[in-house]
């Protein structure tokens, strides 16, 4: 029994697109890592960027593995490819479900990580500088309790002429943890949508790879 050329071509095309997706995820992860300017606060509260970079590298490797395995009709490489796709599928599905039902838990976790940085007076100058940069960007003040986290609010806490909300006495009242969590909530639907879309794509990859694997095994058995 010969290997179905149509299925083989579809698997090669799938893996090429899969590899491109890995390149995009890796590129976005590196871009976010660089644009954070090494901010210790966002790295501490949102370590997902490092995970994104790791996922991008893994997807790139798997895309190459599946494409080469399909082209060479290697049952060993196709089986390894299938197993890794299945594991990633389970992890994505679990992450998507946990993200959908565990939003409050994630919010509490972020607040706890940032709460560990209080009182700010005990933090090194590098942490204070990172927080000031974050305050200027997000228009917030303090970490969890607002301006009260500072002995004396720095200039980055002051409202400018265009700020009319969350200002009292010329100082921003919203803590940065609230702004960070709001950003997470705004992007959560997009992240969940991407996760489930990738999970659906992985199903096709697993089906195609297993079909070719079975055809190769049957062909090898017939030639013995």
Distances (CA, A) of 61 to 17, 26, 55, 178: 13, 12, 10, 38
DSSP 95-158: HHHHHHH-HHHHHHHHHHHHHTT-SGGGS-HHHHHHHHHHHHHHT--SSSSGGGGSSS--GGGB
Q: Looking at 13-27, 50-64, 87-101, 173-187, which range is the least confident one?
A: 87-101
Question: Residue 1: pLDDT band by 50, 70, 90 thresholds?
Answer: very low
- Overall average pLDDT of the 83-89 stretch: 85
Q: Is the pLDDT of residue 50 over 70?
A: no
């Amino acid at each position: 029994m010969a290997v179905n050329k149509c299925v083989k071509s579809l698997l090669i095309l799938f893996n090429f697109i899969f590899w491109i997706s890995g390149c995009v995820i890796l590129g976005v992860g590196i871009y976010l890592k660089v644009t954070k300017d090494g901010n210790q606060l966002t790295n501490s509260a949102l370590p997902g960027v490092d995970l994104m970079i790791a996922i991008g590298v893994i997807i790139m490797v798997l895309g190459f593995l599946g494409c080469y395995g399909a082209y060479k009709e290697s049952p060993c490489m196709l089986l390894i490819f299938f197993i890794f796709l299945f594991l990633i599928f389970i992890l994505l599905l679990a992450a998507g479900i946990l993200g959908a039902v565990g939003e409050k838990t994630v919010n509490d976790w972020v607040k706890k990580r940032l709460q560990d940085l209080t009182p700010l007076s005990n933090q090194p100058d590098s942490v204070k500088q990172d927080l000031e940069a974050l305050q200027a960007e997000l228009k917030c003040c303090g970490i969890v309790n607002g301006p009260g986290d500072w002995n004396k609010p720095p200039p980055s806490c002051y409202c400018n002429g265009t700020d009319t909300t969350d200002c009292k006495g010329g100082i921003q009242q919203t803590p940065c943890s609230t702004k960070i969590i709001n950003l997470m909530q705004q992007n959560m639907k997009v992240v969940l949508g991407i996760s489930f879309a990738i999970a659906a794509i992985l199903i096709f990859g697993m089906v195609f790879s297993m079909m070719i694997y079975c055809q190769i095994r049957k062909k090898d058995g017939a030639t013995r």
